[in-house]
Amino acid sequence: MDGRPIGIFDSGAGGLTVLHECIVTMPHEDFVYLGDGARCPYGPRPAGEIQRFALEVASHLERGGVKLIVAACNSATAAALPLLQEKLAVPVVGVLTPEAHAAVQATRNRRIGVLATEATVESGRYANAVQTLDAGAAVVSVACPKLVPMIESGTVDGALHAAVREYAAPLKEVAVDTVILGCTHYPLIRPVFERVFGRRTTLIFSAEETAREVAETLERKGIENERSREGATTFFTTGSPEEFRALGERFLQLPIGSVERVGIRELELEAA
């Protein structure tokens, strides 16, 4: 048993979908969520910069005494996961691999689609991870640059539906039976994806698969918290606590009490 909290970070509030799935799966665990709002988004930045930011943020969580860190962000995982694992003493779980594994397990026709941000699709990490597990699987990846801004704007309208249909078209054309939704924002428009792909396509959400990976890891290591208790979450952001709270409450559908601010300067000084 281990009473320490689990640390989760993202460049912004997208990782809150991962936090949500973690709370559903492990209601007895405590969580510390740190959003790097001041430097959000990570996606368009050079890899070296993402690595530096991710290492500052993850190191801050480690110094705070977490037992495991979740990189709840595709850009941070793609650019920085191996570096974080080399530099930190606590285990670091990223997105990407859990979804790829789930997709290989789930597909029947071995045709897998990936919808993700441009940076994630360009990194080729999903296709690599899938083909490491099944060299015969066909992977079709489509970059969806319009979706994150539309989701953050909060308007679910005809334009959003049209965009999802447009991105889904190349996957439907080659009859994939499993689709990895490889961005932490996408669970927020789950009903749209469900309608566009229909019942016969298996949708794999990174948030769910990552939560499952974290739960299995705690269990295998024997470092779960006591199961009878109810966990709590503490929120930190490098950006505006008000903005984080507003976006966060919409993402989680959960009243977020206090959000504490962590200065970028503080993170940089700690790292120096």
Catalytic residues: 73, 183
Question: Hey, how many other C-beta atoms are within 10 angstroms of the C-beta on 222?
Answer: 8
- Is 180 one of the binding residues for its own copies (CB under 8 A)? no
Backbone φ, ψ for residue 181 (5° rounding): -95, 90
- Is 47 one of the binding residues for its own copies (CB under 8 A)? no
- Is 111 one of the binding residues for its own copies (CB under 8 A)? no
Give the span between the Cα atoms of 23 and 8, in whole angstroms.
12
- Is 201 one of the binding residues for its own copies (CB under 8 A)? no
Single out the segment in contact with its own copies by CB under 8 A; choices: 10-18, 145-153, 220-228, 233-241. Answer: 220-228
Q: If residue 22 lies in a helix (H) or strand (E), which one and from where to where?
A: helix 16-25
* Nearer to its own copies (CB atom), residue 20 or residue 125: 125
Selected from 87, 146, 161, 172, the binder of its own copies by CB under 8 A is 87
Report the nearest approach of its own copies to the CB of residue 130 (Å). Answer: 11
Nearest to 90 by CA among 107, 112, 70, 106: 70
Give the span between the Cα atoms of 97 and 103, in whole angstroms.
10
**Residues 97, 32: contact at Cβ < 8 Å?**
no
Cross-strand bridge partners of residue 68: 6
- Is 59 one of the binding residues for its own copies (CB under 8 A)? no
Single out the segment in contact with its own copies by CB under 8 A; choices: 52-60, 94-102, 163-171, 264-272. Answer: 94-102
Report the nearest approach of its own copies to the CB of residue 18 (Å). Answer: 18
- Is 91 one of the binding residues for its own copies (CB under 8 A)? yes
Give the span between the Cα atoms of 32 and 185, in whole angstroms.
19
- Is 172 one of the binding residues for its own copies (CB under 8 A)? no
- Is 142 one of the binding residues for its own copies (CB under 8 A)? no
Q: If residue 272 lies in a helix (H) or strand (E), which one and from where to where?
A: none
3-state secondary structure 175-229: CCCEEEECCCCHHHHHHHHHHHHCCCCEEEEHHHHHHHHHHHHHHHHCCCCCCCC
- Is 134 one of the binding residues for its own copies (CB under 8 A)? yes
Report the nearest approach of its own copies to the CB of residue 132 (Å). Answer: 7
Count interface residues toward its own copies (CB under 8 A): 32
Using DSSP's 3-state secondary structure scheme, residue 124 falls into: coil
- Is 250 one of the binding residues for its own copies (CB under 8 A)? no
Q: If residue 63 lies in a helix (H) or strand (E), which one and from where to where?
A: helix 47-63
Give the span between the Cα atoms of 133 and 143, in whole angstroms.
22
* Nearer to its own copies (CB atom), residue 148 or residue 213: 213
- Is 217 one of the binding residues for its own copies (CB under 8 A)? yes
- Is 1 one of the binding residues for its own copies (CB under 8 A)? no
- Is 107 one of the binding residues for its own copies (CB under 8 A)? yes
* Nearer to its own copies (CB atom), residue 75 or residue 97: 97
| Binding interface with its own copies (CB under 8 A) | 81-83, 85-88, 91-92, 97, 101-102, 104-108, 110, 132-137, 202, 213, 216-217, 220-223
